[in-house]
Every structure is written in C-alpha cells, then in structure tokens.
Amino acid sequence: MAAPGRDEPTTPESGAPPERPTEHRRHRSQRERMRIKIYGTGAVLGLWIAFVMTWLFFYAISYGVFENIGVIIASFFLMGGLIGIIWVPKEAGMGRGGWRVRLSIASAVVWIAFVVLWLPFFAEEFTIYLNAAILLASSFAFITANAVAWSSIIPGELGTGLGRRVAGSFVLALAWLAFMVIWLWQYAEAYGYVWEQNAAILILAGLPVYLILTSMWVPWSKRFGRTHGTPPEIPFFFIWLVLLFVWFWFYGKPFNVYQNMVIVFLTFLAFAGIGRAIARR
C-alpha cells in the first residue's frame, strides 16, 4: 500500500486522460508508414514496368508509333500520380487538406493521360473545332473539380471581399470556357466561319470577362495600397484585344496561320512596351 501523500498512477476509470503514446511508439509508427509507402512505390513502379513490357510485346505491333508513344507517356503519368498520392501526407495543404492535394494530383494525371491518348487515337475522327471543344471540355471538368474541392478554404471576406473575388473569378473563367466549348462544338463550322473569325468571336467573348475581372480586382488593389491608380497596362491590354478582334474578323483571312501569329506577337510587344513606359513615368 502506497504511503499517504504520494502520487498514485491514474487509470482511465479514474477520469484521467488516457496515457499518451510515447516518443518511441510515435517513431515506430512513422517508420511503419514510411515502409508502407516505400513498398507501395515499388509495387506501382513494378506494375508500370510490367504493363509497358506487356504492351510492347503483345499489342504495340498493331498500332503506330504515335499511339504507342501516347500509351507509354499516359501510363507513365498515371504511375507518377499514384506514387504522388501515396506520398502525400494527411496534413498537406491548408486545413489538413491532404485529400484535396490527392484529388488535384489524381485529376491532373487523368486529364494529361486523356489528352495524350485522345490526340493519337481519336483526334482524326473529328474536325479541328470538335477536337478543340472536347479538349476544352476536359479542361472545364478538371478545373471545376479542383475549384469545388478547394473552395472551402478560400480566404474569408474579413472586410476585404477577397473570398468573393476569388470565387467570382473562377465562375467567370468557367463561364467563358463553357462558352468556348459550346461555340466550337455547335457553331464554329455550322455557319461557315473561317478559323480567323472563330478566333475573333472567342476574343470578343473574353472582353466582358476581362472588364468584369478588372472592375473586381483593381479597387481591391487600390484599397490595400498595391496600386495607386488603374495601371496603364490594363486599358492597353483591352485595346489590344479589341484590335485583335478587328484584325481577325476583317483582315486575318488573307494571311496564313504563321503570319497571323507574328502579327499577334509584334502587336503584343508594342502595346506592352507602351503601357510599361507610361507606368514607369
């Protein structure tokens, strides 16, 4: 029997908190998790090598060079995504958002694999506009999934409206992307537009999005002293987009793709240089 006044060990029945894991137990648990991750990485790598060898031995002869390259590249990205998911800790990201990081990795590698496999296997069956619509639709799905997953940790308003601006920017970008998909799939060829006119229409659809975004973010920047007025690059970029719309709609057709690319690049440098010079003054 213990002497009076001496501390006696507590038990869970006495109402005291249960005994915490010792430092040795924590280290052992970490080593076990590390061992599992190493074994998992080795298993995924082994499965990928086995798949590539099987594909090359039995199936590669039935496809062309680009199809086989696409299969190997797509499988490589999927393998890398699985390994990345294995090594992401639970505490990754804000708010213990390890599942968000895993979702972003998984959706990214699936999207890349889809694009890599689509181009050599299925693209020839569709026109260039339909292919563009399909690839943009896959981008829309990828961005939407990640936006929904990460929206819960968007910075709160806290008197700044930052959260609403971030969410609004995502919605506008997705709306413009959805319009592009619908236009390219449904109307780009149906009404006999050439590619220059389709480019002009997509630029025209982006103009109101650009105006809304600048009206959302420029006042916020002024409020916190990040800018002391509207940066001259903003109106210059808008003017450049308007001129690009006019060029592609009325004057771009006689020129080939490469000549139009040169014109776009040179005009961008000119307007960016002018805007930068005014900003420095």
User: Using an 8 Å Cβ cutoff, are 79 and 48 in contact?
Assistant: yes
Side chain identity at residue 20, one-letter code: R
* Predicted local distance difference test score (pLDDT) of residue 41: 94
Neighbours of 138 (CB within 10 A): 16
10-residue mean pLDDT profile of the chain (281 residues): values are 50 52 68 88 95 96 94 95 88 68 92 95 92 93 85 56 77 91 91 90 94 86 63 85 95 91 93 81 70
User: Using an 8 Å Cβ cutoff, are 154 and 163 in contact?
Assistant: yes
Q: Which of 170, 91, 181, 167 is nearest to 134 (CA)?
A: 181
Distance CA 54, CA 41 (A): 20
3-state helix, strand, coil in the chain (%, to 5): 75, 0, 25
Burial class (CB in 10 A: 0-12, 13-18, 19+), 200: buried
Q: Which of 134, 111, 110 is nearest to 123 (CA)?
A: 134
* Predicted local distance difference test score (pLDDT) of residue 163: 72
Distance CA 207, CA 92 (A): 37
List strand residue ranges (DSSP E) for the chain, in order: none
Q: Which of 281, 267, 181, 270 is nearest to 231 (CA)?
A: 281
The set of residues, in sequence order, having a beta carbon less than 8 Å from that of 99 and lying 6+ positions away, is 149
Calculate the CA 215 to chain-centre distance.
24
Calculate the CA 149 to chain-centre distance.
12
Angle value at C-alpha 209, between 206 and 213, nearest 5 degrees = 140
Rg from Cα positions in the chain: 28
How many Cα atoms sit within 13 Å of 178 on the Cβ side? Answer: 10
Angle value at C-alpha 55, between 78 and 127, nearest 5 degrees = 70
* Predicted local distance difference test score (pLDDT) of residue 157: 45
